[in-house]
Amino acid sequence: MPAEAMAPPAAETKTIPITVEFSGGLELLFKNQRTYKLSVPDVDPSTNAATTVGYLVKHLAADVMVDARKELFVVEGSVRPGILVLINDADWELEGEEEYVLQPGDAVLFVSTLHGG
C-alpha cells in the first residue's frame, strides 16, 4: 500500500496561526516574552469541535506557561477574574467569551489591570 494512503486526510491536520500577547505584568508568567506566534489545531481534540478561545486558555496554561503560579493566569480552567481578554482589540465579552471560535490571523491580548500612577 502506498505510504500516501496511510496519511490522514489533510483536513484533520490543519492549524490556525494566531498571535497571543501578554501585558500588564502577565508576560512575567510567560518567560517575560510579550508576544507569541502560535499555531493551534483547527479542531479541539477534546471536543472534536472548532477550536475556541477557551481551548487556547487551557493550552497556554498547560503547554506554554512554565511558571508554577498557574493560579495567576487560570482559576478552575478559566482565565483568572481580573484579566481582560481582547480578541482583535475587542473585549471578548462582546465576542462570545470562551466560545469564540478562533480564526486564522486572530490576535488575542491578555491584559491585567495596572494601578501605578
Interface positions with other proteins (CB under 8 A): 21, 23-25, 28, 34-35, 66-69, 71-72, 80-82, 84, 86, 89-91, 93-94, 109, 111-117
Question: What is the smallest separation between the CB atom of 92 and other proteins, expressed in angstroms?
Answer: 9
Residue whose C-alpha cell reads 491584559 in the numeric block: 111
Question: What is the smallest separation between the CB atom of 63 and other proteins, expressed in angstroms?
Answer: 16
Question: What is the smallest separation between the CB atom of 59 and other proteins, expressed in angstroms?
Answer: 20
CA 49 to each of CA 10, 81, 94: distance values in angstroms, whole numbers, following the listed order: 17, 26, 21
Contact assessment for residue 105 and residue 17, using Cβ atoms and an 8 Å cutoff: yes
Residue whose C-alpha cell reads 471536543 in the numeric block: 47
